[in-house]
Amino acid sequence: MQCMKCGKSIPDTQVFCDKCLEAMDRHPVKPGTPVQILSRTPKEKTAKKKELSPEELLLRQKRQNRLLRRLLWIISIALLLAVGALAYTLIFFVNPPPGGVPF
């Protein structure tokens, strides 16, 4: 059989073209023909993970703690601003002062 996309000659049992990776299931296969499934493992799965030394782990943990503290500060400031804006709205728009809303 030949690949309809690139024209390479492919055995009848193959599901994908080796050259262009076109799926052969788009093309008719004779019933009863054994099918060969090729699987490739990603390099990430086969590569060994680097083990970190205790010093590197400690540095990584400190960096993560610093980032978390910064994030908590940002969230705290945003909440304080939101509460302040809500308080301003409630005080001056619900019960406006006698001279009107100061802008």
| pLDDT tens-place string over residues 47-87 | 556 777 888 889 999 999 999 999 999 999 999 999 999 99
The pLDDT assigned to 32 comes to: 65
Q: How far is CA 39 from CA 14, 15, 23, 24, 73, in A?
A: 12, 11, 13, 15, 48
Both tokens of 88, joined, read 């301003």
Q: Which tens digit of pLDDT belongs to each residue from 90-102?
A: 887 777 667 666 6
The pLDDT assigned to 91 comes to: 80
Confidence of residue 10 (pLDDT cuts 50, 70, 90): confident
The residue with tokens 């050259």 is 19
Angle (CA) 97-85-103 rounded to 5° is 45
The pLDDT assigned to 66 comes to: 95
| Measured distance CA(30)–CA(24) in Å, rounded | 12
Angle (CA) 23-26-31 rounded to 5° is 105
Confidence of residue 40 (pLDDT cuts 50, 70, 90): low
